[in-house]
Amino acid sequence: MNFEYLRYLSESSDKKEILEELMTAYGKDVWNYAFSMTKQWDQADDITQEVFIKVYRNLCTFRSESSVKTWILTITRNMTLDFRRAAFYRKVTLMEFIPTKGEQPSTEQIVIDKLATSDMWKLVLTLPAKYREVLLLFAHYQLSMKEMAHILGVSEGTVKSRLFHARNKISKLKETFEP
């Protein structure tokens, strides 16, 4: 979906129709990106909802400085970072680290383990957020270095460096877990 198409839709259609189309086109991408950063189902759901509310409110302000996908993923990243800074997030996340008697995994952890069918995805989820998100943007969303730099708010050199380090960390983790 490109800017001209979005402009055409906003001039000729109801904003709700545009939002529905954007949600259909990018809803999974937004949720997956939010989940990869938070590792929490409910938080990814909340962030996804907030992202599309913001998209709806700012539909007319979209500029063609990037693709619609890059714009929406940037909003997703910023919303996730804001969510992680919130006191509620810190409180809930810290509570998860308090061990319970018997050390049984949470239902959420069991679901995550089942969904993370590939060993590689499990390894990616263990990386720090800055490496995890650059791998996700590169491998899953197939964004260019320029688009990733725009979303992350860093230079292309920083993106290349993070991608290099993320690949090295994954290689080392693979060596550690292989028999």
pLDDT: which is higher, 10 or 86: 86
Q: Global pTM?
A: 0.65
pLDDT, one tens digit per residue, over 66-92 is 788 899 999 999 999 888 777 555 555
- Residue 6 pLDDT: 58
- Residue 117 pLDDT: 46
Decide if pLDDT at 99 tops 80.
no
Question: Can you tell me which residue has the tokens 């962030």?
Answer: 47
pLDDT band, residue 104 (cuts 50/70/90):
low
Out of 50-54, 68-72, 118-122, least confident range: 118-122
**Percentage of residues of the chain with pLDDT beyond 90:** 32
pLDDT, one tens digit per residue, over 156-174 is 999 999 999 999 998 888 7
